[in-house]
Amino acid sequence: MILSKKSYNFLKKDISIKNHLSSKENIRSDRNNDPTRQIAFDTVCQIFDWKHLPLETALKNALPVDVDQRDKAAAYRLIVCILRKKGTLEALVEPFLKRSPPQQVSWIILLGVAQILFLETPVHAAIYTSVELARHNGFAKFTGLVNAVLRRISENGPSILKDLDQNRLNIPAWLWKSWNQAGFNPRQLATLLDSEPPLDMHFKTNATVPEGGVQLMNNHWRYSCHVKVEQLDGYQEGQFWIQDIAASLPAYLLNVKENEKVADLCAAPGGKTAQLIQAGGNVVAVEKKSIRLKRLKENLNRLQMDAVLVLGDAGSLNYQNEFDAILLDAPCSATGIFRRHPDVLHLKKENEIQSLVKIQRKLIGAAIGYLKKGGRLVYSVCSLQRSEAEEQAEFFRNLPGVRALPFTQKEIPFLTEALTEEGWIRTLPSMWQEKGGMDGFFIARFVKED
């Protein structure tokens, strides 16, 4: 169905992002009394249009100083719905538009559609608040368009939705293709966007574990995604930290011994560092950015753990033949954590992967130099891209003076399905579906021979 010209009242001259940003503070003082939608709108614009920020940072920037936690939670649900259902939402709206409105108006429409079709918001409330959101953000001339599109979506959206291939629409084409070529099942992976992943926590040895969790391995427990972590007994005392089960495997498989000198080369936010300390290692934790090192320090302080903290590029440190073991959880596209961070589906681009591959190889070469003879190195990435994972491991084991040290079923008896023929670990978000899944990780281990 096509909107009438009356309903589709475009501005003669588009409002640029630059002008919208410059007037943002003036508009803010005159906004309606609806912080939830405003927070969601500001966050989505920062992710996609203004700064291409990750969800966590964009949301933090968008929050008012005196935000109510209920408004924050409601805004987060709305933002995540947009990130998970972006392709579907755009396909739903497209038949009702002759031409594309300014991008910010498109977000307002998609936010309204998400509320109507996926978040069970009453239609009248979703339409009214969307119209007001447009008005209070400088898009008053588009309120007729917002109103008309949302009314038609409320009438026709459910029937259109039945004919859409949502799984295909919600995964960017380049990712769908690469996952398919890697032998994964992109359709199965896409279905995981429909549910909120559970919350995994790693507990200190002898810590009292709060009720309501399910033990996954050793000190690792899984809780409902609705658990409020900071309210759990033991949080303030530093008895545990949040860490997906797959993210805990690299440090676990490094198998650190008491008093070994260990380097965590890309350490923030600190979950793996904490594991290495808990295992008895004398840990040197390295971070390139001061803001990330600060976060690492704060997390270790809460956990009452100590490590030598180094601010610097892990690829050019002043170490040589010094460490018994190294964990290189390298910077990557992070496509394996799309369930928890659906923003990565949209922030990462295909042409960025090769730049990441170069960085990873620089770090691999440097890490080998930091190891003692006989020292071991675990390389890991939270990526589903073969070029960052399996192909890097092939490169790694062909370097002079390096020998692959395959993992065995005995080392990971609780997750043998993740063990590859080469002796690497490849976890997928679709594994352990009956338990709530896990993040996608690749892990390989090597030994320095000379």
The answer, yes or no, to whether residue 107 has pLDDT greater than 70, is yes
- Find out whether 313 is annotated in a ligand binding site: yes
The answer, yes or no, to whether residue 144 has pLDDT greater than 90, is yes
CA contacts within 13 A on the Cβ side of 263: 32
The answer, yes or no, to whether residue 25 has pLDDT greater than 70, is no
Domain ranges of the chain: 17-168, 198-243, 248-448
Confidence of residue 32 (pLDDT cuts 50, 70, 90): low
Q: Please, what's the largest Cα pairwise distance for the chain?
A: 76
DSSP string for 346-375: HH--GGGHHHHHHHHHHHHHHHHHHEEEEE
Q: Which residue shows structure tokens 């987060």?
A: 76
CA contacts within 13 A on the Cβ side of 165: 6
Amino acid (one-letter) located at 403: R
CATH architecture of the domain with range 248-448: 3-Layer(aba) Sandwich (3.40)
The answer, yes or no, to whether residue 345 has pLDDT greater than 60, is yes
- Find out whether 210 is annotated in a ligand binding site: no
Amino acid (one-letter) located at 69: Q
- Find out whether 272 is annotated in a ligand binding site: yes
- Find out whether 287 is annotated in a ligand binding site: yes
- pLDDT at position 49 is 85
Across-strand partners of 328? 379
- Which H or E run includes 57? helix 55-62
Please give the structure tokens belonging to residue 132: 């007001």
Q: Which residue shows structure tokens 């009356």?
A: 6
Record the pTM: 0.90
- Find out whether 251 is annotated in a ligand binding site: no
The answer, yes or no, to whether residue 18 has pLDDT greater than 50, is no
Q: What is the C-alpha radius of gyration for the chain, rounded to an integer number of angstroms?
A: 24
Q: Within 10 A of 10 (CB to CB), how many other CB atoms are there?
A: 16
In angstroms, rounded to a whole number, what is the distance separating the alpha carbons of residues 307 and 320? Answer: 19
**Would you tell me which CATH number, out of the four given (1.10.10.10, 1.10.940.10, 1.10.40.50, 3.40.50.2300), belongs to the domain 17-168?**
1.10.940.10
CA contacts within 13 A on the Cβ side of 400: 0
Average pLDDT for 127-155: 97
3 state SS of 232: coil
**pLDDT tens-digit series, residues 34-60:** 899 999 999 999 999 877 899 999 999
- Find out whether 400 is annotated in a ligand binding site: no
Contact assessment for residue 251 and residue 245, using Cβ atoms and an 8 Å cutoff: no
**Residues taking part in catalysis:** 382
Contact assessment for residue 275 and residue 204, using Cβ atoms and an 8 Å cutoff: no
Q: Which residue shows structure tokens 């759990």?
A: 232
In angstroms, rounded to a whole number, what is the distance separating the alpha carbons of residues 99 and 221? Answer: 50
The answer, yes or no, to whether residue 6 has pLDDT greater than 50, is no
- Find out whether 362 is annotated in a ligand binding site: no
What percent of the chain lies above the pLDDT cut of 90?
A: 87
**pLDDT tens-digit series, residues 230-281:** 889 999 999 999 999 999 999 999 999 999 999 999 999 999 999 999 999 9
Average pLDDT for 82-99: 95
**pLDDT tens-digit series, residues 388-444:** 999 999 998 888 899 999 999 999 999 999 999 999 999 999 999 999 999 999 999
